[in-house]
Amino acid sequence: MKKVLILLLIMLVTFINIDIKAFMAKKIDLKIKDNETSIVFLRLPNSKSLLINDEDSSNLFILDYKNSKGLNEALKIFDSEPSIYYLKKSVDRKIDNIYIYKQKDMLKFRINNYTLCIYDRTNQQVNNCDFIYLMELKREFEVNENVLGIFYDDAIAKKWLKNVQESWIDNNIVSTDSFTILKLNEEAYNIVIVPSTKA
């Protein structure tokens, strides 16, 4: 009888251990279709990056970087081994289907007939942007009605976001607690928020 109980106990511990490992090893499948590109806003405590994938390539564009803590784990969640680009060192270039350039000190990504602008200063004029990522604000942001969507860092003070949150434009928080994903194709876009899989 003791042997049976010990065997059952070993089986129970093994089952719980396997279940916990399966829970911890979650993956996010971006399900990228033909002529579609996904942009994952990776906001980690020590870096801010864009993971841009299409059916043929994967690229990580690092926008703000202190160290790589947590970055490799985040990339594993997306089952991605991207080419890595530090944008403070290189702009005005074409990588796969992505054209990266600066216009009036604003970093822009041109992908599938859409433009994603990276806003990180107080004096930038926002022109010709379909989507805007507000990384940092020092004053209230004026919303341009031609913009399709605005993404903003969760560390930005709410007083600067009043116009963004009251507008009819899609607006989404980029935080360390979730992954914000923008999927683009030639005709439409879709925004998906996936809770972080960190324990």
pTM, rounded to two decimals: 0.79
C-alpha span between 114 and 112 (Å, rounded): 5
Percent of the chain past pLDDT 70, that is, above it, reads: 82
Cα–Cα distance between 105 and 119 in angstroms, integer? 9
Whether the predicted pLDDT of 154 surpasses 80? yes
Question: Residue 190 contacts by C-beta under 8 Å, 6 or more apart in sequence?
Answer: 182, 183
Q: Token digits for 70?
A: 């947590």
For residue 141, give both structure tokens: 């942001």
Contact 56, 27 (CB under 8 A): no
Q: Which of 177, 174, 175 is nearest to 198 (CA)?
A: 177
Specify the higher pLDDT residue, 14 or 78.
Answer: 78
Spatial CA neighbour of 82 closest among 24, 38, 36: 38
> Residues 119, 132: contact at Cβ < 8 Å?
yes
Which residue, 168, 154, 178, is CA-closest to 77? 178
Distances (CA, A) of 59 to 123, 140, 165, 185: 29, 32, 30, 17
Which pLDDT score is estimated for 89? Answer: 57
Domains of the chain: which residue ranges? 28-195
Could you give the CA distance from residue 42 to residue 38 in angstroms, rounded to a whole number? 12
Q: Report residue 122's pLDDT band, with 50, 70 and 90 as the boundaries.
A: low
Q: Is pLDDT larger for residue 153 or for residue 196?
A: 153
- Taking the C-alpha atoms of residue 145 and residue 131, their distance in angstroms, rounded to an integer, is 11
Average pLDDT on 15-35 reads 57
Least confident of 32-36, 87-91, 158-162, 163-167: 87-91
What integer is the mean pLDDT of 112-116?
90
Quote the pLDDT of residue 67.
Answer: 76
Confidence at residue 18, expressed as pLDDT on a 0 to 100 scale: 35
The predicted structure's pLDDT at residue 115 = 93
First to last CA, the chain: 38
Render pLDDT for 59-72 as a digit per residue (tens, 0 to 9): 999 888 777 778 88
